[in-house]
């Protein structure tokens, strides 16, 4: 850019003979193009330039960031007041696209984040993935950072390499992106990558004693991004019974004793429930990443919904006192309400591994 495009001066009586430019920060630089700086070496080292009017017209300014230049003009008698001129260079501006990604599915990083720069070209991209639920697949791209930074889940790529990188989903997390224009980093942009838990639907059912119904007719679940892999059924009261029909209960002996069953999706389709009174079953579904919320499904004898009677003051894991004319006893005491939460032994078994149950 010509200096004469940044600053000009006029004089009411005389002709401007000299121009002085001060550039103490030195972010950008003056290119003289044959012009002569009339000042001493000491002044030049301080970023001060002085030119005749004809030489001033030759000088250009090469940008390298934001700074302020100071100009003065001289008419052969005196200098006028200094005029400060701001030269700006904006940092890159990023835009993130929150995206739902299935487990194992891939998406280009460039579909999650892009950046533009008003004056320059984006040269580098930085991605931070500290949680590491999903993973970045480099596809030949080179992470420019140190081993320590890489261990912290930080990646930096040239713009051309950024276009190669993909992200493979494995749950919900937030990635952080930044872009660099060769001068400075833009602000961080956080991008949510989501993976919804399964959503279940229960069907309250009337069932006579000794009659059977498929569990899949009592409960079903869908997942927005993934396939349901496991089902869990809790039947602590045990009024009725689950008939496995060759299905395998994946839970440990302790949980099985508490009326907890866990099946693969294919085995869940085999299991039936045989009625023997009024009770509530609790269902959950797992998509390979996490459990969905608990869904309670009421099983009732024909023509006899239980009548809730007033019980003691509410407590944690509250219970109801009920009477049921079809029960073998006239009064069934303190029937627990089944809901989301942690089992009494605090454990969860998924494919033989004890884990904390998170509903």
The model's pLDDT over 244-274, given as tens digits with 9 standing for 90+, comes to 999 999 999 999 999 999 999 999 999 999 9
Q: What is the largest CA-CA distance in the chain?
A: 117
pLDDT at 26: 75
Nearest CA-CA partner of 308 in 291, 332, 280, 287: 332
pLDDT at 338: 38
Task: Summarize pLDDT for 155-188 with one digit per residue, the tens.
Answer: 999 999 999 999 999 999 999 999 999 999 999 9
Backbone angles phi and psi of 45, in degrees to 5: -65, -20
**Radius of gyration over every alpha carbon of the chain, rounded to an integer in angstroms:** 37
What residues contact residue 312 under an 8 Å CB cut-off, 6+ apart?
321
Q: Region 101-123: what's the mean pLDDT? A: 96
> Of the segments 20-24, 58-62, 234-238, which one has the largest average pLDDT value?
58-62
Residue 97 to residues 118, 131, 138, 148: CA-CA distances in angstroms? Answer: 21, 19, 20, 28
pLDDT at 131: 79
Task: Summarize pLDDT for 213-227 with one digit per residue, the tens.
Answer: 999 999 999 999 999
Nearest CA-CA partner of 126 in 189, 172, 169, 173: 189
Least confident among 66-70, 179-183, 343-347: 343-347
How confident is the prediction for the chain on average, in pLDDT? Answer: 86
Record the pTM.
Answer: 0.71
How far, in Å, CA of 290 to CA of 199, rounded?
Answer: 11
Identify the CATH number of the domain defined by range 199-355.
Answer: 2.60.40
pLDDT at 355: 38
Residue 339 predicted with pLDDT over 90:
no
Nearest CA-CA partner of 287 in 346, 354, 224: 224
State the pLDDT confidence band at 305, using cuts at 50, 70 and 90. Answer: low
Give the domain ranges of the chain: 3-87, 93-194, 199-355
Task: Summarize pLDDT for 34-52 with one digit per residue, the tens.
Answer: 999 999 999 999 999 999 9
How far, in Å, CA of 208 to CA of 299, rounded?
Answer: 10
Token pair of 232 as six digits: 């869990």
Identify the CATH number of the domain defined by range 93-194.
Answer: 2.60.40
Asked whether 103 and 289 are in contact (CB, 8 A), the reply is yes
pLDDT at 70: 96
Query: Residue holding tokens 């866990």?
Result: 262
Asked whether 125 and 178 are in contact (CB, 8 A), the reply is yes
State the pLDDT confidence band at 142, using cuts at 50, 70 and 90. Answer: very high
More confident residue, 321 or 4: 4
Asked whether 350 and 250 are in contact (CB, 8 A), the reply is yes
CA atoms lying within 13 Å on the CB side of residue 162: 22
62 strand-pairing partners: 29
Q: Region 303-332: what's the mean pLDDT? A: 40
Asked whether 19 and 73 are in contact (CB, 8 A), the reply is yes
pLDDT at 357: 36
Residue 347 predicted with pLDDT over 70:
no
pLDDT at 353: 37
What residues contact residue 143 under an 8 Å CB cut-off, 6+ apart?
150, 155, 156, 157
Asked whether 91 and 181 are in contact (CB, 8 A), the reply is yes
Residue 346 predicted with pLDDT over 50:
no
End-to-end CA distance of the chain: 63
Architecture of domain 3-87: Sandwich (2.60)
- Check for a shared fold between 93-194 and 199-355: yes
Backbone angles phi and psi of 69, in degrees to 5: -100, 150
How far, in Å, CA of 79 to CA of 351, rounded?
Answer: 85
Type and span of the H or E element at 242: strand 241-243
Handedness of CA 42, 48, 53, 54 (dihedral sign): positive
pLDDT at 278: 94
């Amino acid at each position: 850019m010509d200096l004469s495009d940044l600053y000009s001066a006029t004089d009411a009586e005389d002709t401007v003979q000299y121009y002085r430019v001060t550039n103490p920060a030195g972010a950008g630089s003056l290119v003289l193009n044959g012009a002569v700086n009339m000042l001493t070496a000491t002044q030049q080292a301080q970023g001060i330039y002085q030119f005749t009017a004809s030489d001033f017209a030759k000088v250009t300014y090469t940008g390298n960031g934001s700074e302020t230049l100071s100009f003065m003009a001289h008419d052969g008698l005196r200098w006028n007041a200094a005029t400060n001129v701001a030269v700006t260079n904006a940092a890159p501006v990023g835009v993130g696209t929150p995206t739902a990604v299935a487990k194992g599915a891939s998406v280009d990083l460039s579909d999650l984040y892009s950046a533009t720069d008003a004056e320059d070209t984006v040269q580098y991209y930085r991605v931070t993935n500290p949680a590491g639920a999903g993973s970045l697949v480099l596809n030949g791209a080179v992470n420019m950072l140190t081993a320590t930074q890489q261990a912290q889940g930080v990646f930096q790529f040239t713009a051309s390499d950024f276009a190669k990188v993909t992200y493979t989903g494995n749950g919900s997390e937030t990635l952080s992106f930044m872009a660099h224009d060769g001068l400075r980093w833009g602000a961080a942009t956080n991008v949510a990558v989501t993976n919804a838990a399964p959503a279940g639907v229960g069907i309250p059912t009337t069932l006579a004693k000794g009659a059977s119904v498929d569990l899949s007719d009592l409960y079903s679940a869908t997942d927005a991004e993934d396939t349901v892999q496991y089902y869990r059924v809790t039947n602590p009261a045990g009024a009725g019974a689950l008939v496995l029909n060759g299905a395998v209960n994946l839970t440990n002996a302790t949980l099985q004793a508490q009326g907890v069953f866990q099946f693969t999706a294919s085995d869940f389709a085999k299991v039936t429930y045989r009625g023997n009174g009024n009770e509530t079953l609790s269902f959950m579904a797992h998509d390979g990443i996490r459990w969905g919320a608990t869904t309670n499904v009421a099983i009732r004898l024909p023509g006899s919904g239980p009548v809730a009677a007033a019980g003691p003051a509410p407590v944690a894991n509250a219970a109801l006192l009920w009477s049921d004319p079809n029960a073998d006893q006239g009064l069934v005491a303190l029937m627990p309400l089944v809901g989301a939460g942690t089992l009494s032994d605090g454990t969860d078994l998924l494919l033989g591994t004890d884990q904390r149950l998170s509903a």
